[in-house]
Amino acid sequence: MGFVADLRKFKAKATSETDRIVRETVEVFSDSLVTTTQFNGPWTPYGDPALWKAPPPADYRPGNLRSSWFLSVGAPSTEITDRTDIQRVNGMDRMPDRPAGQRIYLANSAPHAGAIENGHSSQAPVGVLVNAAEFEPVVRTVAARRP
């Protein structure tokens, strides 16, 4: 093989590996939002009226916040759902085959998501979303895996 061919092979492998890391990081991160993982999920609280200072509204259905996570590409989703039985982030099938370099969003537009993020829940007193220091271990763990 010549230099140019070797360079193309290296680029293809690097691109493929980057896509794998991005895809798996999004999958692990999204799973942590709604299920128990090695990263101490689920990060999204499940409503427990027994922990509340005030009684729940008559139409309250626990699980709506956890079920309202949506993956989207290019712009945050504003979708919501009334379902409470979803155990995975909605829209994972929207993950591009080549996700590296694309903006991938995990958004929750449930009406009470903002209040929860601002510490309204005793189960998530600092909110749901993690900061960069908490995100880095997810990326490092995924990147260390070999395909």
The tens place of each residue's pLDDT in the chain, 147 residues long, gives 686 666 666 666 657 889 999 999 999 988 888 888 777 778 888 888 888 888 888 877 788 899 999 999 999 999 989 888 888 999 999 999 899 999 999 999 998 899 888 988 888 888 887 655 678 888 889 989 876
φ and ψ of 114, to 5 deg: -60, -40
φ and ψ of 23, to 5 deg: -60, -50
Determine the 3-state secondary structure of 73 from DSSP.
strand
The residues spanned by each domain of the chain are 3-45+58-144
Q: What is the DSSP letter of 38?
A: T
pTM assigned to the model: 0.82
| Residue 73 one-letter amino acid | V
Determine the 3-state secondary structure of 69 from DSSP.
strand
Pick from 47, 105, 99, 118: nearest CA to 78: 105
